[in-house]
Amino acid sequence: MADTPNTVTLSYNNGQSSIELPVLKGTLGPDVVDIRAFGKTGMFTHDPGFLSTSSCESKITFIDGDLGQLYYRGYPIEQLAEKSDYLEVCYLLLNGELPTAEQKKNFDYTVMRHNMLHDQIHNFFRGFRRDAHPMAVMVGVVGALSAFYHDSLDINDPRHREVAAFRLVAKLPTIAAQAYRYNRGLPLSYPKAGLTYAENFLYMMFSTPVEEYKVNPITARALDRIFTLHADHEQNASTSTVRLSGSSGANPFACIAAGIACLWGPSHGGANEAVLKMLDEIGDVANVADFMQGVKDKRYKLMGFGHRVYKNMDPRAAIMKQTCDEVLNELGLHNDPKFKLAMALEKIALEDPYFIERKLYPNVDFYSGIVLSAIGIPVSMFTPIFALARTVGWISHWSEMIADPAMKIGRPRQLYTGAPRRDYVEIANRK
C-alpha cells in the first residue's frame, strides 16, 4: 500500500473552502509546504526577507544552524577544509562528486590555464580612479567579461555554462589582485605557471619586478582554507541575487557581477572587515575589559561573534582558529599588539558566562580577518577575497538553476499599502 501524501490543510474563518497544500521532504532539514497552488485562491503569502520561504530546490549545500552543520554536496566542511584543497572543492560544487586523481589533475590544469585576462581588459582598470574601492572595480570588470567571451554566452548550452564557470573561477583571483595593485599604483602582474591557486593569488598581489617573491606555504595554505570555507553558504543574499538575475536569462558574467555588488553590503560580505575596524577602535589590550562590559551594557557592538544562521558554534570557526594559530606562529605575530588584543577578546568570549549563554562564540569572520591582516592583506581587500572564493558557489547555483526545467523568472509579490485609486487633479485646483 502506497504511503498517503503528506499535506497541510489551510482553513478560513469566513466560510471559504479550505485548501490542501502538499508537503515536500528534502534529504536533510525540515519539510516545506508547497504553496504554489495557494495563488489560485486570489491571495498570496507575506514573508519579508524570505526567512520562512524556500525559493528553489538545490542539491549543492546544506546548513543546519541549530546543530552547527555545513555540508558541501553532503561532505562536512570540517573534512573538506582539513583534507581537500580549494580547487577540489570547486570541482565538487560544480559537478556533485569528488574528482578522481585524473579528473583533479585535468580540472586544475584547465582552471590555471584560464587565469590570464584579455589584454584589453587592462584598459578597464585604467578607467577607474586610483582610490576606487576594489569591489567597485570588480563589479565593473567582471560585468565587462561578457563583452570579451562571446563563445560562452548561450546559457542553454551545457558546454557554454561549463566554459563560463572555468573562466570565472580562474579569472576572479587575477581581477581581484589587479584591482589591489591598481589601487596601490603598482604595475599589473600576471599569473605564474607552477603555482597553486592560492599561491598564484599571493604572487599576483605581492610580487614586484625588481626582486623574486617566494610564497610562504603556511600563508598559502591558510588562504586556500579561507577560500574553501567561503566557497558556498546556501541561499544567502548574494547567491539569491545571482539566481534572481539568472532567472531572467542574463549571461553568467552579469549575474556574478550582481552577486559581487550584493556581497559588497556591510551586512553580508563586510563582516571580517568590521572585525579589524573594531580592533582599531578598541586600541589596546588594556581597554578590552571595559569594551566587553560595554557590549554587555549595549553600548558597543561586538563584531565577529555569534552568527545569524548558526545558533551554535560556526563549524568553520574551529578550522579557522587553528589556521589563525598556525599563521601567527609562522609569522611570529603572537605578540603583535593588535593580535594580542584579538586573542584577549576571544578568551573573554569563550569563558564569560554572558557570552556562553548567548552563544556569542567567535565566528569564521573573526579569525579570517585576523589571518588576512597577518598575511599583509589590507582591509579593503577582505570583501574582494570573499567574492573570489564565493564565485564557484554562485556559478554552481546559477548553473543548477538554468538546467532545472521548472525554472521560472523570479517575480516576488508585494503587500501594497499605498494610496488607493484616485483621479488626477489639475494643478490649479490642488490645495
Burial (Cβ within 10 Å: 0-12, 13-18, ≥19) of residue 430? exposed
Q: What are phi and psi of 52, to 5 degrees?
A: -120, 25
Q: Which residues pair with 70 in a beta bridge?
A: 63
In angstroms, the first-to-last Cα distance of the chain is 73
46 catalytic residue (yes or no):
no
160 catalytic residue (yes or no):
no
Judged by DSSP in three states, 300 sits in coil
CA 183, 184, 189, 195 dihedral sign is negative
Q: Which residue in the list 268, 325, 336, 352 is annotated as catalytic?
A: 268
157 catalytic residue (yes or no):
no
Q: Which residue in the list 85, 108, 224, 365 is annotated as catalytic?
A: 365
**Which H or E run contains 62?**
strand 61-64
- Give helix 288-296 / helix 337-351 axis angle, nearest 10°: 40
Cβ(313)–Cβ(361) below 8 Å: yes
DSSP conformation letters of 198-213 = HHHHHHHHH-BTTB--
Distance CA 129, CA 283 (A): 31
Q: Which residue in the list 233, 307, 314, 397 is annotated as catalytic?
A: 307
Distance CA 148, CA 141 (A): 11
Residues annotated as catalytic (active site), given as ranges: 268, 307, 365
